[in-house]
A and B are shown apart, each in its own frame.
Chain A
Amino acid sequence: MTRHSESDLRAGLARLADDAPRFDADAAARAAVEGARPPRRWARPLAAACAAVLLVGGVGVAASVWPRPPEASTPAGREAGLTGRVWRLASSVRGGIPPTRVQGPAPTFSIVGDTLRLETGGGRRQVPVRVEAGRVRPELPPGPCSTAAAAACQSPDPVADFFAAAPAFTLRDGWVELSAAGRRLAFVDTGPVPPPKPATSAAGHRWVLTGAPQGVPAVIEGTRPASIAYDGADLLLDTGLNLYRFGARSSGESLEAGEGTTRALTQHGCGGRGLAPRECRAVVDRDEALQRMLFANVVGQRLEGGRWTLQDGWVFTDAGPVGAVAMPSPSAPAIDPALPVLLPTGAPPVASPGGRRSRYVGTVDVPAGGGRWTVPLHPRGVVQAVLVCPGGRRGGQRVAQASVADGERALSCGAQVALGFSAGGGADTLAVRARTAGARLAVFQDLEFDPGPAPAGPPAGWKPPWAHPEAGLPESGVARPSPGSAPAPVRLTVPAGGRVAVAQGGPSTLAFVVGGRLLDAGPVMSSLAPSRGGVADSTLWQSPPMVSGWNVRAFTPAGAEVPAGTPVEVTVVPSGDSAPAWAVGAAPAG
């Protein structure tokens, strides 16, 4: 196309129109006649309606929405008080659920017995479902789905299958991994969405949920900095616009069941879109036959206020959801000018009055053959590089090998590698040898702990961790600070392969050192570099204390792992502003 020719503009627009997706005229006509939108997959309602979304037996049962009921603009409608929106039960399987419309500001789903119930402020509709062992299906009505199209309606049930085994969440630095039935889920920021052409601005960030079962939104592209957090049960992705919750619930649990974090979420659901803050939640699985269910839900706009908890090192404060915030690095010093540097991208860091943060350093495309990059380190930052492959995992194919300070390791798609930890800052070099092109390394730093305005002291009724035997600290071998004295390191002996139990009842930052190296973090870690470091942070006064366990793995200078059971001296180093409200103890393996 030339820029001066209207005829070329016509031709160019025609080519654009030729790219249009297929349009199902028959379905559109039927939907128009019945006064509804055609059934569609749930991605749209998820985005459009701040909708609670329920996956039933692998079939997306979603609340689609009209912007407002057409009758609302009529005199009769106004007289009848028709406001809000019209919610429509929909299924990704056409004909699977009869059109059901309910008017109201926000829906609530629940499964009671064999009935899926949709409730809003303006009404209630129920849809029969069939409960089978480990799964729930919509009870298909007579009609197309009972005859020739029955096979199409009986879609596979990946979600129920996925949670046939109990899932487990694993904390990583900057991301969270969900493992179940041999599959892994992980939300990874793959960095800015590639611009269509060089020199054009990126459209935003793309978050990829790797290994997601069918029907679960695997990709969210946003335009703002986002955070990934884990509240002890669910994976939260806060894009700044919406808060997405991904997780699994055991039978009988529901989102509003006694969790401060959840209450804070639901109280603010749907806010900011012209609707008053209302509950916008998915009540998941109250039927014992359904063991576990993966759900994803736009809980609502990013939260402000509310009380938050601190679990597993991920911080939620009264000031808002902090979690692990992926954000650009304000400065990325290039140590070796000969090497390309992962430059900071995106918006400036968001101030967080408290909490532990992971800083998104950048993303780099790994060309075929590989390359070398300088990665700026932080004095207290543990760098994690995550290998991301376009299109998700490639069957676990190892596509790259990363060379870090302590050796070379093969990386599969979705795998991570721990880079150096530098107490003095500086930079490290990441060398990657790639077998194929297309891989991408997303680099995160687990950043400094910013205590912010610390509480003046413990609240009334607070008791120190050692006064809480139910917290699970070992009865012997417990080390704790001396009240009234300055923070000082304590040492304890732990068998290699065992764990260090940590109880934090007040604001404190504890670094773990063994044999001159920092410990591995998290309950499940594997293939970690010896330089992997660990820091436990707590920002709150809490009683009973927050308890976490840290694996003890020691390595020889040559990199070989010390045999299990070998006594290892562990040093716990508190930060200078740590309150004397913590205790550590050695625990055997298991």
Chain B
Amino acid sequence: MMLHRPPPVADAGAGASFEAFVRAQGPLLHRTAWVLTRHEQDAQDLVQAALTKTWGAWDRIDEPVAYARRVVAHEFLTARRRRWAGEVPAAQVKPVERAVGGPERWDERLTLAAAVARLPRVQRAVVVLRFLDDLSVRQTAQALQISEGTVKSHTSRALAALRVDPHLHAVEHDEEDRP
């Protein structure tokens, strides 16, 4: 029994252009997914799902970047809370959080990451798309497939939550105390 359809048939030109697209946009999509998930393999999954679907629709989409970003956002928002998500088996002991940008900033990054992670998923996605990917309200609405008004309200609520976050507040004071 044939269980799966064969991969999409595409000519060599399509394959080359898709590979070029992945080389150019893949790392950016991965950055977005990484900030959304803060989990290496979850981020890889988001990007890979986006790229696979993008390749499947490669011959009929006009804006592959927007399409891939929309898939990333959709996959992120629709990923159900799996019960096993609370466990992280790994082969090596790793630090709880990575911080490679220098010791002077790592506590700030961890604090910001935790604060962003505490946001509801839609607000988190709005914040990341708007302030990391620098999308407009309209582009964010298209990526998340919600209305522009909803994007604005989520943005407002997310920023309000970040402003009152006690840990960010502590960081702020730490910053102020620095010479």
Contact = CB atoms under 8 A, between A and B. Distances in A.
A197 B87 CA distance: 21
Interface string A35-52: 101101101101110100
Contacts of B111: 196-197
Contact of B54 (A9, A32, A50, A301): A32
Contacts of A272: 83
Contacts of B56: 70
A71 B8 CA distance: 13
B18 A29 contact: yes
B7 interface: yes
B137 interface: no
- Looking at chain B, what size class is its interface with the partner chain? 35 or more
Interface in B1-58: 1, 3-5, 7, 15, 18-19, 22-23, 26-27, 30-32, 34-35, 38, 40-41, 43-45, 47-48, 51-52, 54-56
A3 B162 contact: yes
Contacts of B30: 20, 23
Contact of A21 (B40, B48, B132): B40
B94 A4 contact: no
A118 to B, nearest CB: 14
A326 to B, nearest CB: 15
B108 interface: yes
B96 A203 contact: yes
A19 B94 CA distance: 14
Contacts of B175: 1-2
Interface stretch (A133-141, A149-157, A216-224, A458-466): A216-224
Interface string A168-192: 0000000000000000000000000
A200 B87 contact: no
Interface string A10-27: 101111111111010110
Interface string B98-114: 11110001011111111
Nearest to A48: B84
B89 interface: yes
Contact of A13 (B5, B84, B86, B127): B127
A273 B31 contact: no
B127 A18 contact: no
Most chain B CB neighbours (cut-off 10 Å) among A31, A32, A273 = A32
Contact of B93 (A21, A35, A47, A219): A219
A69 B96 contact: no
A215 B93 contact: no
B18 A33 contact: yes
B172 interface: yes
Contact of B163 (A3, A82, A223): A3
A475 interface: no
Given A25-B26, A122-B3, A215-B91, A1 B112 contact: yes
A26 B98 CA distance: 24
A471 interface: no
A448 B132 CA distance: 55
B87 A239 contact: yes
B99 A19 contact: yes
A9 B162 contact: yes
Given A1-B112, A6-B131, A197 B3 contact: no
Nearest to B40: A21
Contacts of B5: 71
A391 interface: yes
Interface string A59-71: 0000000000111
B41 A391 contact: no
Interface of B: 1, 3-5, 7, 15, 18-19, 22-23, 26-27, 30-32, 34-35, 38, 40-41, 43-45, 47-48, 51-52, 54-56, 82-84, 86-94, 96-101, 105, 107-114, 116, 127-128, 131-132, 134, 159, 162-163, 165, 167-172, 175
Interface of A: 1-4, 6, 9-10, 12-21, 23, 25-26, 28-29, 31-35, 37-38, 40-41, 43-44, 46-48, 50, 69-71, 80, 82, 86, 101, 103, 122-123, 193-197, 199-200, 203-204, 208, 212, 214-224, 239, 241-242, 244, 272-273, 301, 390-392
5 contacts: A16-B116, A19-B98, A23-B47, A40-B41, A123-B1
